Structure 1
Amino acid sequence: MSVWLPSAPCTPKACVEPTGSATAVPRAVLRMTAVVVLVLTGIALSPFGGRIPAGLVRRWCRAIARAIGVQVRVTGTAAAPTGGLLLVANHISWLDIPLLGAVRPARMLAKAEIGRWPLAGPVVARSGVLFIERDRLRALPDTVARIAEALRAGSAVVAFPEGSTWCGRAQGHFRRAVFQAALDAGVPVQPVSVRYRLADGAAGTAAAFVGDDTLLASLWRVASTRGLVAEVEIRDVIPPGSHLDRRSLARAAESGTAGRPRRTHTALVA
């Protein structure tokens, strides 16, 4: 198995708790329609690429979450540092992508299959995403080199080092390869912890996009769930030079995304 292709034990049947109801159908349809309109807007603006102001990108990412009915709470450090930065997070849902975009607009590290998604695929492909051929081990050194090049050029790069989505009740281990790019480029690493809860504070798995789940089924489940809250905890930056090898750097970043979020700063953004 490729190092880019780890597997998680989570499946929709075993891990995802249905929370929608028949009465939620009209609301879910409206939410889905709003998301489609926002994605089409993103497609229309995607040719402008880097000329789009970072603040507008953040607002668009937050609008995606708001449109699908998710309230977003950001805790921790108020802002990500400027310049080259590797932003890493645990991976639960497709929603993680706009959530990280709301923290800091960045080049996404993503599996090549995402570029073929309907509607969202064209937006992703034109946004400067760094695609991974996960089943091609020989492509790994070239991928690490391209990430390092982007980081040296001053870009922020978002990666989900688990390599697979988990339901949120458990978390996978961070793969080390992406951290080599941060070491080679001499840039800081910022862990971000993502959690999803219901309005009453209980852990929720409705947002999880795991196993053989389809994007449409996941979109509908999120849209029909009432009171879904995404908690985004921006953890302390790991400065360059603080870890001499990718193994220890990956372990430190993984530790930074695990556990209960701290409440040092809170901002309701959606």
Structure 2
Amino acid sequence: MRGPARARWLPSAPCTPEDCLTDLAPPVAGPRRAARWLLAGAVLLVGIVLSPLARRCPPARRDRLTARWCRAVVLAFGVRIEVSGCVREGPVRVPGGALVVANHVSWLDVPLLASVRPGRNLAKSEVAAYPVLGPLAARGATIFLERDRLRALPGAVAEMAAALRAGSTVVAFPEGSTWCGIAYGRFHNAVFQAALDAGAPVRPVRIRYRLRTRPGTRTAPAAAFVGEDTLLASLRRVVAARGLVAEVTVLPPIPTEARTDRAALARAAHAAVTGEEEPGGAPAGREGPYGVHARLHTSPTVASGGRIAVPHARTAVTSARRPVRTGPSSARDR
């Protein structure tokens, strides 16, 4: 949740830098940090310079170039990538469109997913104003959504559906807000309306960040970009982190024909990403793909005197509960 004037109905998470970003990765030495900054800047510059040429390439070749460049971006920041699951099709265009949905932890999620399955991203309109990233997002045919305007929602859904019908991959984060990776948010329904309208399958993807320098499977919050955190502060944490690993698990596709409505589709995708049984949820404290699954988001900042449990966020775009018509179909929430 960013900004004091955020509308009450917008998706939000209880995660904050003070609560969630306390157990960080051991830092690398100053010279290595400087090298990462320089390399990341060089890779970004190459992408900016060559993006006009890449847009003229055939779709399959353009996707391969995009995937390689996005992988180079993530690696330049010192993050190792591990991909598993249903990845036989590779980072290339496949026949027909697909809606790729994933849990949302960090700004790193965007290039990370693009390194596996390039596509048109659904992003908040504020991203267009970001330095460097904004122009790159616009050149990548990003679908921008004004999240504080419900009237903009049907148009975004219609644009997504049109892209899916045209055979494009569309990437969205249905939680609507970033979470620290220890807990998770529910998938809001309306994003899945585009898949239903286009008859396109949903491809769930699980993202997790961990440390190579620490044994076990515990989630590492170093990459998280939450609450009132700034992009610069998050960049500094990632650049300084030693042994940060990004895990991408590509899960089996969910055909839209098997679900009767967008709510059922959202539940199925959420169950796949979180590892819970559909339609119920995992019991609090169960070990899962995020580390400890819990219906309560527990603040790690209270080392003594017990732990503070913050209720799982339930804020939702109203269109997720009540259909908003967009021509013959309904809208989605971010």
Tell me the TM-score normalized by structure 2.
0.74
Do structure 1's residue 41 and structure 2's residue 50 form an aligned pair? no
Greater RCO (Cα-Cα under 8 Å, separation 6 or more): 1
Please provide the CA RMSD for this pair. Answer: 1.5
Farther off after superposition, 182-191 or 79-88: 79-88
Kindly tell me: are residues 149 and 102 of structure 1, through their superposed partners in 2, closer, same or farther at Cα, counting changes over 3 Å? Answer: same
Residue 268 of structure 1 is matched in structure 2 by none
**Aligned 1:1-270 pairs, distance under 5 A:** 1=7, 5-16=10-21, 17-21=23-27, 24-48=29-53, 49=55, 51=57, 53-79=62-88, 81-199=94-212, 200=214, 201=216, 202-259=218-275, 260=288
Aligned length: 259
Aligned 8 A contact 1:145 1:181 in 2: yes
Aligned 8 A contact 1:2 1:136 in 2: no
Farther off after superposition, 189-198 or 115-124: 115-124
Kindly tell me: are residues 46 and 214 of structure 1, through their superposed partners in 2, closer, same or farther at Cα, counting changes over 3 Å? Answer: same
Higher share of residues assigned helix: 1
Aligned 8 A contact 2:121 2:143 in 1: yes
Identity, in percent, stands at 55
Farther off after superposition, 110-119 or 158-167: 110-119
Aligned 8 A contact 2:25 2:220 in 1: no
Structure with higher Rg: it is 2
Aligned 8 A contact 1:2 1:137 in 2: no
1:229 aligned counterpart, secondary structure: strand
2:101 aligned counterpart, secondary structure: strand
In structure 1, runs of 5+ residues without a counterpart are: 262-270
State the Cα deviation string for residues 82-101 of structure 1 (Å, max 9, x = none): 32100000000011001110
Kindly tell me: are residues 219 and 82 of structure 1, through their superposed partners in 2, closer, same or farther at Cα, counting changes over 3 Å? Answer: farther
Farther off after superposition, 145-154 or 41-50: 41-50
Aligned 8 A contact 1:32 1:219 in 2: no
Superposition deviation, residue 24 in structure 1: 2.4
Superposition deviation, residue 33 in structure 1: 1.6
Distance in 2, Cα, partners of 1:72 & 1:131:
27
Tell me the TM-score normalized by structure 1.
0.92
In structure 2, runs of 5+ residues without a counterpart are: 1-6, 276-287, 290-334
State the Cα deviation string for residues 31-74 of structure 1 (Å, max 9, x = none): 12211111111111222326252221111111111111111111
Segments ≥4 residues shifted beyond 3 Å: 79-82
